[in-house]
């Protein structure tokens, strides 16, 4: 288990103020994406934040969080190295980093993600090829049969 940061530790990790620390982690806890942060900080009504915050966009925000020695907690990513030994003796082994995340967490994020709101269907839907509704569309997903 990774140690959690205490309130008085914020200056040691690049945060210049308690507000920077608290706001950065509030965005993180709210599961904001880089795009969400870009949209928020580019809003003219938030201009006062541009003067206060160390980060001016989503890329700088994530870079600041990723610079923490304790890492960003709560994403649930797991990683492992896959190593394949070659058949030839003189060939180097092949390695790859595998990164995975709990599928339920990903689905939960996608369902709550506001830009997808208008595309989400929470009930069975019958799909047709055109407006005449003569030809049904069938696929591997349950669409209302």
The answer to whether 29 touches 21, Cβ cutoff 8 Å, is no
Q: Please check whether residue 123 lies inside any domain of the structure.
A: no
Q: Please check whether residue 90 lies inside any domain of the structure.
A: no
Residues comprising the chain, all counted: 145
Number of domains in the chain: 1
Q: Please check whether residue 31 lies inside any domain of the structure.
A: yes
Q: What is the pTM of this model?
A: 0.45
Q: Please check whether residue 29 lies inside any domain of the structure.
A: yes
Q: Please check whether residue 27 lies inside any domain of the structure.
A: yes
Q: Please check whether residue 115 lies inside any domain of the structure.
A: no
Q: pLDDT tens digits for 24-40?
A: 888 988 888 888 999 99
The answer to whether 95 touches 82, Cβ cutoff 8 Å, is yes
Q: pLDDT tens digits for 44-72?
A: 888 888 888 889 999 998 888 877 765 56
What is the extent of the structural domain holding 57?
A: 7-66
Q: Please check whether residue 89 lies inside any domain of the structure.
A: no
Q: Is residue 97 within a helix (H) or strand (E), and if so which, with residue range? A: strand 94-101
Q: pLDDT tens digits for 105-114?
A: 778 777 777 7
Q: Please check whether residue 138 lies inside any domain of the structure.
A: no
The DSSP symbol for 136 reads: B
pLDDT band at 19 (very low <50, low <70, confident <90, very high): confident
Output the pLDDT for position 57.
92
Helices 34-42, 58-66: crossing angle, 10 deg rounding = 130
The DSSP symbol for 115 reads: G
The answer to whether 105 touches 78, Cβ cutoff 8 Å, is no
What's the rounded Cα separation, in Å, for the pair 96 and 27?
A: 32
């Amino acid at each position: 288990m990774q140690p959690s940061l205490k309130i008085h530790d914020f200056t040691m990790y690049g945060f210049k103020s308690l507000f920077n620390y608290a706001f950065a982690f509030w965005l993180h806890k709210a599961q904001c994406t880089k795009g969400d942060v870009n949209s928020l900080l580019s809003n003219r009504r938030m201009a006062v934040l541009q003067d206060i915050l160390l980060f001016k966009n989503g890329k700088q925000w994530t870079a600041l969080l990723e610079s923490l020695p304790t890492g960003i907690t709560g994403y649930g990513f797991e990683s492992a190295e896959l190593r394949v030994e070659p058949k030839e003796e003189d060939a180097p082994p092949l390695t790859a980093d595998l990164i995975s995340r709990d599928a339920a967490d990903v689905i939960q994020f996608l369902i709550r993600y506001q830009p997808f709101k208008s595309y989400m269907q929470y009930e069975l839907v019958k799909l047709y090829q055109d407006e005449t509704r003569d030809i049904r569309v069938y696929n591997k997903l349950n669409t209302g049969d």
